[in-house]
Each structure stands twice: as structure tokens, then as C-alpha cells.
Amino acid sequence: MYDIIVIGAGAAGMTAALYSARANKKVLILEQETIGGQIATSPLVENYPGFMKISGVEFSNNLFDQIIELGVDFELEKVINIEDLKDKKIVTTEYNTYESKTIIIATGSKHRSLGIDNEERLIGKGISYCVLCDGAFFKGKDVAIVGGGNTAVVSAIYLSEIVNKIYIVQMLDKLTAEEKLIEKINNIKNIEYIFNSKVDKLNGDTSLESITVGNRTINVDGVFVLIGLIPQNETFKNIIKLDKYGYIDADEECKTNIDGIFVAGDCRTKNIRQLTTASSDGTIAAINACNYIDSI
């Protein structure tokens, strides 16, 4: 039996594993896709204390190496159910069943899609949700970014040195990113803003050829959709209390409605979702999980 099972290997989950392992707890991380979560798709991180700049992939890999060195077990398995048996928790994956004294849910969120025709068909053929993954494919070409928050702006800054031109399509009348980022992007010459607008059509047969924004058709080879996230909590809805948006209902103590089950990161209710707050959640959830174990 494990002391703590962490579901999700993003920044919150791996930080939780780090603090748990350092408290001499037996820890397992279960992840259905890859390590790092959302931060792994960021080309550049400049707002994490102690680092002038670091890529999301490098940050994630460093944290993963750190927890493995401490003896944390790691399995690439999708969790399909959790059970609360009071004296223990049961975590069922597609392949195995695990027992633990506590659970920390850190499943994060996934990219929100545009929800328009041709989007799914053109994924990988011009439509992308990850600049770090796919940006290099558009060297010297024209692209669009949909969104105006931190992720969109950081991605635009990164892409501006690779592509020919970037159109930023934003539904609001301004960017919503941090002021420092806005100051930086405003000095970049190959970026054009299209405010108070949305992408209405994705045009192209075998690959993306252009987008329609209102009455305007813009020729682009790629569109990066960076418009927010959807919490990955569907698996837990029958046992863990969720809010109306699907986030796990928890306060700053990172405790859920079930004793011994905690939550960390972007999948919980919170006002600010940043790398630093994900790490903070992981720390708090781990300490509270360890205190819970020591009290039973």
C-alpha cells in the first residue's frame, strides 16, 4: 500500500510528490499522458522565482528527475475510478488497482477548442494547441494566434522570431496578459492585432489555407488556439464535489469534501492559475496529506 497516490504529473502533482517523498512517505504518481502538464507546452518561462528564463520542458524534466531521485514511483496509466473506503483509498486504472492511505488529485486542465467546423479535421494540418510542439513547422510563414492571455502573448513573442507574420485574434478589445508581457509584445513589428473578433471559419481541404474573421479572409498556414482550459475532473464527479464549471471545490487548504483526498493545481477552484500557484498547491496538499496520514 502507498501512503500517497498523486494523480497527475504536472507542476502541482510533481511538487506534491516531492514534498511527500521528502517526508518519507511512499509515493506513486499516475499520469495518463506525459510529464509537465500545461507548463511543458510553454516555450519560455520567465516568471518563476530563481530562473531568469527556462523552457517549460526543461523545467518539467528537472522536476521529474528530482522526484525520481527521491524514490517516487511513476506509472503512465489512466485513472478510471477512485473509491473511499475510509481506512484506505482505491485507485483503479485501465491496467491496475492501487491502494493508498491518501490521494492527491492534480489532473490539471486541457486546451479549450474553438468548436467550429474543420477544427478537429485540421489538427496537425495547420491547427495546433502547442506553440512549443509545432512552432518550428511554420518557419517563415504567416500564422494566427487565437487568444490574448499570458499563454497567447508568450507564445506570440516566441513565434515572432520564427515566422513571417502573426495575427492575434482576440474577442476582447485588449490583451489580458501581464503588463510586462504586453510591453514586450508591443515592440514586435511582425504582429498584428485583431480585437473584438473571433475566428468564424477554418478554410482548407487537406491543410489549413486561411481563416475567416468577420468579413475578412486572412491567408495563414497555421492557427494556434490558446483560449483557456477545461478541468480534467470527469472521472471524479461522482465522489468529489465539483463547482458548476467542473473544477474541484476546495479552498486554500487543498482539501476536498472527502477526508484523505486532496487537490492541487489548475483542476481546483481558484482565482489565479500560474506555475507558482500550482507549485504552492502541491506543497500545501502534500503537507496536509502527510498530516492526515500521521493522524490516523
**169 - beta bridge partners?**
146, 194
pLDDT tens readout for residues 5-19: 999 999 999 999 999
Angle at 245 between CA 240 and CA 250, to 5 degrees: 45
Q: In angstroms, rounded to a whole number, what is the distance separating the alpha carbons of residues 283 and 164?
A: 42
Q: In angstroms, rounded to a whole number, what is the distance separating the alpha carbons of residues 275 and 229?
A: 14
Cβ atoms of 101 and 86 within 8 Å: the answer is no
* Domain limits, the chain: 2-110+229-295, 127-225
More confident residue, 3 or 272: 3
- CATH superfamily, region 127-225: FAD/NAD(P)-binding domain (3.50.50.60)
Cβ atoms of 54 and 132 within 8 Å: the answer is no
Instruction: Say if 2-110+229-295 and 127-225 have the same CATH topology.
Output: yes
| Mean pLDDT comparison of 37-41, 128-132, 233-237, 270-274, highest-scoring range | 233-237
pLDDT tens readout for residues 31-83: 999 999 988 878 788 889 999 999 999 999 999 999 999 999 999 999 999 99
pLDDT tens readout for residues 239-250: 999 999 999 999
List of E strands, the chain = 2-7, 27-31, 73-76, 79-84, 89-93, 97-105, 109-111, 127-128, 142-146, 165-169, 191-194, 201-203, 210-213, 216-219, 222-225, 229-231, 261-263
For position 41, what pLDDT does the model report? Answer: 78
- Residue 207, number of CB atoms within 10 A of its CB: 12
Among 69-78, 93-102, 107-116, 276-285, the minimum mean pLDDT is found in 107-116
User: What percent of the chain is predicted at pLDDT more than 70?
Assistant: 100
For position 173, what pLDDT does the model report? Answer: 97
For position 118, what pLDDT does the model report? Answer: 95
* C-alpha distances out from residue 48 to 45, 53, 59, 173, 231, Å: 7, 8, 10, 28, 23
Asked if the 2-110+229-295 domain carries CATH number 3.40.630.30, the reply is no
For position 277, what pLDDT does the model report? Answer: 94
Confidence of residue 132 (pLDDT cuts 50, 70, 90): confident
